Amino acid sequence: MRRALLICALLLAVPAAADAQATGGTAPVQTPGVTGGNTAGRPFRIPPVIRAFSASPRSVVWGGAATALRFRVDAVNLRAVRVVLSVQRRGTRTVRRVSLGRVPTGRSVTRRWTRAGVAPGVQLLTLRVVDSRGRPLARAARATLTVRVRPRRKPAPAPAPAPAPAASGVFPVRGPHTFGDGFGVDRGDHKHNGVDIAAASGTPLVSPRRGTVLATGYGAGSGYYVVVRDAERDHAYVFFHLLAGSTIVREGQAVDAGQRIGSVGSTGHSTGPHLHFELWAGGWWSGGHAIDPLPYLRAWS
Ligand SMILES: [Zn+2]
């Protein structure tokens, strides 16, 4: 998806600047911020320049605080310019484009970026000033950002976990993990129906409580999935994006709390290894509804 485009404005500027020098005292002095004309009377433009582009902090935990993008655009006779960020995970070809909107020129600006949809890994960030049709107007500026998966610190004695909604249970991801998008997060055409828990591919997944396997299978969005119905309460636990071939339970099988059902993967609609975990009350689909599993997950971790 990357296109190398010729920056025509730059090519125009060079001969024009040379003309201006050749005519000596009569030509205006060429300084950044000034538009001049060449000898044919055609205006030329000095392309905008992106300066001091940085992403801070340079290393973040997946699902953690937003990244501050700092930069400055100097441009001739333009008070604001359109800026687009391209994000490419090192070693992959997928590029996400994030519009940063119009930014004022001639001074440092900071834009908060939530990194929505960005998976763990080293991310190559490319900043471009573009015209109204998305064509680059300036040389791109680059920076890198490391998004890492790290075990949560010993959970600080949680702010009184919601009045014990959860009976005893086992945290479904048995290994280092971090929380990503939560329940109800806006996904454009739908609300996020569960909680994302990032962990290394292959990390064991277990049933949080004793129950029965209600369903296993594969869906385009969910990837490989497993659903477990709680033996004691009217709850169902839904696991998405399992590693291909890792499902080790079958429909109708009884499982214990802590019993392995499969492994963390990234199958289906997923940008990196994580468990998408849902908790349904009153039945899975048939008459039931998903509720926020976070209080339960916290109680189990
Ligand atoms: Zn999810």
Which of 48, 53, 49 is CA-nearest to residue 70?
A: 53
Distance from Cα 232 to the centre of ligand 1, integer Å: 26
Q: Are residues 132 and 181 in the same domain?
A: no
Distance from Cα 198 to the centre of ligand 1, integer Å: 10
Residues 202 and 199: their CA atoms lie apart, in Å, by 8
Distance from Cα 197 to the centre of ligand 1, integer Å: 8
Structural domain boundaries enclosing 61 = 1-9+50-148
Q: Are residues 181 and 144 in the same domain?
A: no
CATH of the domain at 121: 2.60.40.10
Strand pairing class (59-61; 141-148): parallel
What digits encode the pLDDT tens for the residues 117-163? 777 788 999 999 998 888 888 888 999 998 887 654 555 555 544 44
Q: Are residues 205 and 272 in the same domain?
A: yes
Q: Are residues 128 and 256 in the same domain?
A: no
pTM recorded for the entire structure: 0.48
- How high is the pLDDT of residue 135? 86
Residues 204 and 152: their CA atoms lie apart, in Å, by 17
Instruction: Could you list the beta-strand ranges (E) of the chain.
Output: 49-56, 59-61, 67-74, 80-89, 95-104, 108-113, 121-130, 141-148, 177-179, 195-199, 204-206, 211-219, 223-230, 235-242, 254-255, 260-263, 274-281, 289-291
Does any domain span residue 200? yes
What digits encode the pLDDT tens for the residues 16-60? 333 333 333 333 444 444 444 444 445 556 788 998 899 988 888
More confident position, 257 or 165: 257
Q: Are residues 270 and 212 in the same domain?
A: yes
- Per the DSSP assignment, residues forming a β-bridge with 146 are 59, 122
Distance from Cα 192 to the centre of ligand 1, integer Å: 6
What's the domain count of the chain? 2
CB 129 within 8 A of CB 10: no
- How high is the pLDDT of residue 76? 80
CATH of the domain at 223: 2.70.70.10
Q: Are residues 181 and 131 in the same domain?
A: no
Distance from Cα 147 to the centre of ligand 1, integer Å: 18
Distance from Cα 284 to the centre of ligand 1, integer Å: 17
Q: Are residues 196 and 138 in the same domain?
A: no
- How does residue 89 score in pLDDT terms, banded at 50, 70 and 90? confident
Residue 47: HSE in the Cβ half-sphere, 13 Å Cα cutoff: 22
Distance from Cα 199 to the centre of ligand 1, integer Å: 13
Distance from Cα 28 to the centre of ligand 1, integer Å: 59
